[in-house]
Chains A and B, each alone.
Chain A
């Protein structure tokens, strides 16, 4: 006898969902994929007591491009997906429905854009009109130029120069669907905006790193992720990144790590000034020297690789 329930067998029949839903989920997927890895990890490791909150956006850098696009909503979606951008603030909508101001953050940069509006005939700006020459190029650093160019091409960009390796990193040139020209660059690993003397990292030595992580996570509301060393934690999304760990037998302390141009020369200066320093060791992120100043405070010196 056959099992009468076998009639219920239901092969997978594709069904197109509501296009709005499909578009919203695509955006959420893109945001999830492009979120910093620390955020992803923290979603798995975070304690339930505190959720990271959306932090207030930092003030824009000294120079930010302010461009005109034909369709700011589409441009917002495009830059969000292809460049992993985050929207900053709300869209400013003019009385005629055009977008008067939009702002996105990409890495530590800010891009502002708007549409032209007939409400303001005296403002002499317009979106590019399929130019054969460009007056400017937007220079953008991204973690993975090859992936960004591949995605940009699938989303309708023209690739003017395929990704290639240059002395200054991996670079490509595209023209986006709104006719703006971009030079995309993945800088070499040694690239950093920190100069000698800048604080590169703060390490907290604490009797119980997990407890410290729970405490600061609750207070700062930023995501923490497991660190390089077992039992260590770090907050990679704050400036500079914070790390915390519990080496046996060490008293609680906070150790700054400073960027230097030449770590060997800096180690010699530590010793000459009455401090103590171990020779620099090669780490995945550069050269690192463990030091103690002439009053006993521990610190590190870091030279980018």
Chain B
């Protein structure tokens, strides 16, 4: 009712203070994973604006760069889930091999690997990025993709298989 209710310090101010320092980290994280400057900008903006809401929730952590990268990781996973939903209708039943993996002992070339990642479907790209680029354990990957651990393990097997087929196919074509 008072026109001037007592105002507690707003944790979102801390976020504004952190902005200049954190922005290159968040943008750099997203750019290295989606490799598209426009998309990285969109996801960076989404991440920071979501952080304003998140930081005001009860028991929210103190804003920090690692925490903001975590928010960005969620936004990236959300993005790929959206893309996957859009692609699902279009994707051919490509008879993905299930469950069995041959040992693969090659030195993967990092630059080519990124090209291959970009050629993969969103669900495969998301799983491999979170598991290998970010180095998350499988249960964490599962949480971000909103799948069970078992389903995530199976998805990773299929994703690695799809990656190998394109990677080796490229090798053969050279």
Residue of A whose beta carbon sits closest to that of B49:
A32
**Of A16-24, A60-68, A70-78, A85-93, which binds chain B?**
A16-24
Main secondary structure of the interface of B (DSSP, over half): helix
Q: Determine whether the beta carbon of A17 is less than 8 Å from that of B2.
A: no
Number of residues of chain A lying within 8 A (CB) of chain B: 54
Which residues of the partner chain A approach B41 to less than 8 Å between Cβ atoms? 17-18, 21
**Interface residue? B128 (CB, 8 A):** yes
Main secondary structure of the interface of A (DSSP, over half): mixed
Q: Known contacts A8-B133, A191-B3, A192-B3: does B53 contact A43 (CB below 8 Å)?
A: yes
A31 to chain B, nearest CB (A): 10
Instruction: Return the CB mask of B26-54 against A: 1 if under 8 Å, else 0.
Output: 01110111000100110011001100110
Which residues of the partner chain A approach B69 to less than 8 Å between Cβ atoms? 12
Docked pose: A22 CA to B53 CA in angstroms? 19
Return the contact of A29 from the options B16, B32, B103 (Cβ within 8 A): B16
Return the contact of A33 from the options B10, B28, B163 (Cβ within 8 A): B10
Instruction: Return the CB mask of A214-255 against B: 1 if under 8 Å, else 0.
Output: 000000000000000000000000000100000000000000
Docked pose: A139 CA to B48 CA in angstroms? 33
A binding-site residues for B, Cβ under 8 Å: 1, 4-10, 12-18, 21-22, 25-26, 28-30, 32-33, 40, 43-44, 141, 143-144, 147, 151, 154, 186-194, 200-201, 241, 257, 283-286, 288, 302, 304-305
Since A12-B32, A154-B17 are in contact, a sample of 9 more A-B pairs with Cβ atoms closer than 8 Å, ordered by chain A residue number, is A4-B104, A4-B108, A17-B44, A18-B41, A21-B41, A25-B44, A33-B52, A40-B56, A147-B13
